[in-house]
A and B are shown apart, each in its own frame.
Chain A
């Protein structure tokens, strides 16, 4: 158990819908990272928050957004869902700064029908 929790474990929805994925980092970790894992693209970095502020953006679609709350949990919002958004979405956390290890949660499997 990495100490990072994610809910829900599975999510099935229809195209055009909006969903919210939730992540709670390890106790004391200030950084939260979101990654998408798909069969064709592998593990891809989406976005990072550090202590409530956006720190870095990767290959995140404009239909996707995230935020980190004062209690440091984070939510990833996916809207206008398309079939191609079906994937595993992972949250990872780390304590601070460059060089620190990232610990991954169990992931949310999103299926868009």
Chain B
């Protein structure tokens, strides 16, 4: 089963509002990734984080790699209708495998 706890599970916000979601783990990850998935499509990579404490932006999106390496958060500023979708955090421990462990997702709905 999943090892990453992602919250909130869903959000229904007004267009223009800021959004914050986070992901926590009981164990350390060396890489944190944030993906967005829309219906009928595969996850699309939004932001990748490689160092504890790292803060990275991609347009209106900002994500941080927690200093304990056990958490990460994603902020979306000034939300717009096309931000609708499911956002997933994913962690990797690196090494030979580099497989991703995913959170349960945050479903974002934006009211115009």
Contacts and interface: CB of A to CB of B under 8 A. Distances in A.
Interface of A: 2, 4, 31, 33, 35, 41-45, 48, 55-56, 58, 90, 92, 94, 97-107
Nearest to A43: B102
Contacts of B96: 55-56
21 contacts: A2-B42, A4-B42, A33-B99, A42-B105, A43-B43, A43-B100, A43-B102, A44-B2, A45-B100, A94-B98, A98-B95, A99-B30, A99-B98, A101-B45, A103-B45, A104-B35, A104-B42, A105-B42, A106-B40, A106-B42, A107-B41
Interface residues of B, number: 29
For chain B, what secondary structure do more than half of its interface residues adopt (helix, strand, loop), or is it mixed? loop
B1 interface: yes
Contacts of B90: 43
B102 to A, nearest CB: 4
Given A102-B33, A104-B42, 7 more contacts: A41-B2, A44-B2, A55-B96, A90-B43, A99-B92, A102-B98, A106-B42
Nearest to B4: A42
Contact of B97 (A4, A55, A104): A55
A43 B35 CA distance: 12
Contacts of B1: 41
Contacts of A106: 40-42
